Amino acid sequence: MKTDLNTLLTTLYVHLDDRIMPAVGFSRDHHPGRKPQLNDVELVCLLVAQHLLGIASERKWVRYAHSHLKSMFPALPQQSGWSKRARHASGLLSRVITELARDTPSWGEITRLIDSTPVPCGKSRETVKRSDLAGHAGYGYCASHSRFFWGFRLYLLCAPDGMPVVWGLANPKIGEREVTEALFRHDRHLINPGQIIIADKGFAGRDFEAFITNELHAELIRPDRKDETPRFGKLGGIRQWVESVFDTLKGQLTLEDHGGRTTAGVYSRVAARLLALAAAIWHNWLTDQPTNQTLPYRLRPLGLTHLAVSSQLT
């Protein structure tokens, strides 16, 4: 079966409006203060469309949306208004990601993958000194690319098909085990007893493994270190699964071009890209696409085919 972006957005809109928004406690008709003209369901669908189309810049996206989507979204805000709505939607996006994950067969998988990847936020010393992220972001080293960076590290626990389950951003100077333990404690309800969590050598540690076993009632599997008794082997093939997820986030969903200049801005932009990934995987399961195909293939750009979704998205 071939799929296109119009079909994905139509299906997602209906699913959000009928099931997810009531489940997460959001309603497009009940907000404190003045009711926004662009409701939450429309906002989520537009964010998914932006990142599946690979438009990293919010300015370019708003210009594109006003040129191509104004008939379906007459209440589209200008660039400043769009940025403000997207920046304040992080909590909503995180909950929608979780609900989409719960609605896929991979939620019941026993296997989970955990790893981290750099999210650069500046490339010059002047940017580092003047950025609003100073004090939150930091310098780190990316061993896989043999380079230093300034920004955050994205920690991601995902299903084997790449569906995000638990995620967070942290200063790269903080240890991987420390950050992961804090994330797991906060979102322990998303980790089922008996699950197998596959990590890399950086997560080796007696205390961390005891936390996974005794408190989460799960099992940690990682490649063997040279200075310990062999247990699991190298796990190279399985470790490539999570690397392919990060490659999708950076290559197709423009993770490293997020453009965030504040902590709220970076967080919301990363959340939007993870949401686009989750929506694509959810739709792949729904339409019986190959589960090893992270993003929907043969997507047609939004253009003159809007009549297929105009009745649902207006």
- State the CATH number of the domain containing residue 133: 3.30.420.10
What pLDDT, on a 0 to 100 scale, did the predictor assign at position 314? 33
pLDDT under 70 in the chain at which residues?
A: 1-3, 25-34, 290-314
Which of 207, 227, 256 is the last residue before a domain boundary? 256
pLDDT digits (tens, 9 = 90+) for 95-138: 999 999 999 999 999 999 999 999 999 888 887 878 889 889 99
**Alpha-carbon radius of gyration of the chain:** 20
How far apart, in whole angstroms, are the C-alpha atoms of residue 26 and residue 171?
A: 31
Number of separate domains in the chain: 2
pLDDT digits (tens, 9 = 90+) for 246-266: 988 998 899 999 999 899 999
What pLDDT, on a 0 to 100 scale, did the predictor assign at position 308? 34
> Contact at 8 Å (CB) between 65 and 73?
yes
Same domain, 118 and 252: yes
**Residue 270: inside a domain:** no
Same domain, 32 and 64: yes
What pLDDT, on a 0 to 100 scale, did the predictor assign at position 31? 53
Q: What is the pTM of this model?
A: 0.89
What pLDDT, on a 0 to 100 scale, did the predictor assign at position 32? 59
Domain range enclosing 289 = 5-100+277-313
How far apart, in whole angstroms, are the C-alpha atoms of residue 80 and residue 51?
A: 18
Same domain, 159 and 62: no
What pLDDT, on a 0 to 100 scale, did the predictor assign at position 129? 79
